[in-house]
A and B are shown apart, each in its own frame.
Chain A
Amino acid sequence: MVSTAYAIAAEVTDPELPMLTLEDLGVLRDVRESGKEVVVTITPTYSGCPAMATMRDDLVHRLTDAGYDARVEIALSPAWSSDWITERGRRALREHGLSAPGPAPSRSGPIPLTLLPTARVVACPRCGSKKTRLSSEFGATACKALYRCAECLEPFEHVKEI
């Protein structure tokens, strides 16, 4: 059975991708409930993700409102992967004009150097065209790359694979 505290924590949204709940983003790792006490465990998407403080504050605020005594802990391992974004989360990204990540690279042995632009098949979330071009591997937040559609000419963001 899913606890009430879990249900509340799962509804809190990411401050930078507000169409995603922390559960859909895959950063909500654990909710331990014991009486009125709740310990929520989240994991950062990137080491420098500035949204962590806001996530913590929002979780404590929402759980406090529901009568809980809440604390937020951090899990560093295993490191977050874009593969943890749920199907519902991917739909929400597309509905809000963002392109969802493909499968994260899995490898054994040394990480290969990639001197050519990252090869991804990215469909424009606006018109669906596959004729899209990477503008930059870095965007307005740590987790996104910048693309432009060659068909409808709109720029859009792609959540990066890590």
Chain B
Amino acid sequence: MSHSTPDPNEEHGSVYDGLLAEHDAPGDTSHWAFGTDFEDPLAGVDTTVPTDLDAGELAAYCLQLGDDALVMSHRVSEWCSNAPDLEEDIALANIALDLLGQARLLLARAAAADPSVVPALPEGSPVPVEDALAFFREAIEFRNIRLVEVPNGDFAHTIARLLLFATVRLAAFERLASHRDPVLAAIAAKGVKELTYHRDYAGRWFLTLAQGTEESRRRLLAGLAQLWPLYAELAAAYDVGPEVDVVLDQVLAVSGVERPDVAPMAGTGHTEALSRLLAEMQVVARAHPRGLW
């Protein structure tokens, strides 16, 4: 059976109202471990768009970078409690958390640059702009590349995907750290430190699986071959140069793995996997657009 949503606007209120009451000082929610409202990840940050940049283009670019991080974070977090061992479970959860943090900052930056990108919500909704972008857009409005949205395979598939993604994103973020928008530049400079750990993690496992057992090598090659048709779209989206090939060739060479010889996947846009992923990610937020958490 299902329960109806407690509606704080109803006259008789709900059983949870007492929990949301404040202590004597207004705004004092210290009886809650994590507070009752959302903090703005860009509170106090000057989000004025530099005059030589187009606000709409900057917002679109930040959405693209933010959506990649959000969708990749969701896929990586699906390993939570499912990874081959506890250490990898924790490692993958940490990587997902870093990417979620990058997504949150980038979506907030997009919304501040061009508020028209934020979907309209019911009046009185406390949902902050970055959540509105994450949870209230349709699949067709997402700007992520297909590499991050295709379903997880086995652990080797995840390692191959993470190596390609982290290598390209790190190279792009190293350049973006000197972007003319100081907010995007700061987000990128911070992301560089995190992505360095992600790339090293993926590179070590790639080598380990490639040179491990016959079975681990078979799985790695299968995962890489499956993902490679999506690599061209990744490289184009991040507009990276030969520095990425240097790193990938280094990992492939030491692992004794050839670059797969497969054609890029045709078309653009999304696969149906994104709709399924969003259905799971967005269902609770959409069911309670006025919800307080």
**B30 within 8 Å of A by Cβ?**
yes
Q: How far is the CA of A137 from the CA of B196 in the complex (A)?
A: 12
CB-CB < 8 A to B203: which residues of A? 113-115
Interface size on A, residues (CB 8 A): 46
Let me know if B98 and A46 touch, CB within 8 A.
Answer: yes
**A57 within 8 Å of B by Cβ?**
yes
Given A46-B101, A113-B200: A138 and B254 interface contact (C-beta under 8 Å): no
Let me know if B34 and A113 touch, CB within 8 A.
Answer: no
Interface positions, chain B 240-256, Cβ under 8 Å from A, are 243, 246-247, 250-251, 254
User: Total A-B residue pairs with C-beta atoms closer than 8 Å?
Assistant: 138
With both chains docked as a complex, state the minimum distance between the C-beta of B151 and any C-beta of chain A, in angstroms: 23
**A117 within 8 Å of B by Cβ?**
yes
Interface size on B, residues (CB 8 A): 60
CB-CB < 8 A to B115: which residues of A? none
**A64 within 8 Å of B by Cβ?**
yes
**A48 within 8 Å of B by Cβ?**
yes
Given A57-B30, A142-B94: A76 and B204 interface contact (C-beta under 8 Å): no
Closest to A80 in B: B190
B42, B105, B197, B243: the one within 8 Å of A137 (CB): B197
Closest to A48 in B: B101
Given A48-B99, A110-B243, A138-B95: A76 and B105 interface contact (C-beta under 8 Å): yes
With both chains docked as a complex, state the minimum distance between the C-beta of B132 and any C-beta of chain A, in angstroms: 18
**B43 within 8 Å of A by Cβ?**
yes
Let me know if A74 and B187 touch, CB within 8 A.
Answer: no
Task: Mark B79-119 against chain A: 1 for CB-CB distance below 8 A, else 0.
Answer: 00000000110110111011111101100000000000000
Closest to B197 in A: A137
**B50 within 8 Å of A by Cβ?**
no
**B156 within 8 Å of A by Cβ?**
no
**B272 within 8 Å of A by Cβ?**
no
Let me know if A74 and B186 touch, CB within 8 A.
Answer: no
**A97 within 8 Å of B by Cβ?**
no
Let me know if A73 and B100 touch, CB within 8 A.
Answer: no
**B78 within 8 Å of A by Cβ?**
no
B87, B99, B185: the one within 8 Å of A146 (CB): B87
CB-CB < 8 A to A61: which residues of B? 28, 30
Q: How far is the CA of A49 from the CA of B102 in the complex (A)?
A: 10
Let me know if A137 and B201 touch, CB within 8 A.
Answer: yes
Interface positions, chain A 55-76, Cβ under 8 Å from B, are 56-58, 60-61, 64-65, 71-76
**B223 within 8 Å of A by Cβ?**
no
CB-CB < 8 A to A146: which residues of B? 87, 90
With both chains docked as a complex, state the minimum distance between the C-beta of B126 and any C-beta of chain A, in angstroms: 14
Chain A interface, DSSP helix/strand/loop, else mixed: loop
Task: Mark A114-141 against chain B: 1 for CB-CB distance below 8 A, else 0.
Answer: 1111100000000000000001111110
Chain B interface, DSSP helix/strand/loop, else mixed: helix
**A44 within 8 Å of B by Cβ?**
yes
**B170 within 8 Å of A by Cβ?**
yes
CB-CB < 8 A to A78: which residues of B? 189
Let me know if A110 and B199 touch, CB within 8 A.
Answer: no
Task: Mark A69-106 against chain B: 1 for CB-CB distance below 8 A, else 0.
Answer: 00111111111100000000000000000000000000
Let me know if B43 and A138 touch, CB within 8 A.
Answer: no
CB-CB < 8 A to A50: which residues of B? 97
With both chains docked as a complex, state the minimum distance between the C-beta of A144 and any C-beta of chain B, in angstroms: 9
CB-CB < 8 A to B104: which residues of A? 47-48
Let me know if A47 and B190 touch, CB within 8 A.
Answer: yes
Q: How far is the CA of A58 from the CA of B39 in the complex (A)?
A: 13
Closest to B204 in A: A115
Let me know if B98 and A113 touch, CB within 8 A.
Answer: no
With both chains docked as a complex, state the minimum distance between the C-beta of A161 and any C-beta of chain B, in angstroms: 9
Q: How far is the CA of A12 from the CA of B186 in the complex (A)?
A: 26
Given A74-B40, A77-B185, 7 additional A-B pairs, CB 8 A: A47-B98, A47-B105, A72-B39, A73-B44, A76-B183, A78-B189, A113-B251
Task: Please list the residues of chain B having a beta carbon within 8 angstroms of any beta carbon in chain A.
Answer: 25, 27-30, 32-35, 38-45, 87-88, 90-91, 93-95, 97-102, 104-105, 170-171, 174, 182-183, 185-187, 189-194, 196-197, 199-201, 203-204, 207, 243, 246-247, 250-251, 254
Offer 15 A-B interface pairs, CB within 8 angstroms, sorted by A.
A47-B98, A47-B194, A50-B97, A56-B35, A60-B27, A60-B28, A64-B27, A74-B43, A76-B42, A76-B190, A110-B171, A111-B174, A113-B250, A138-B90, A160-B197
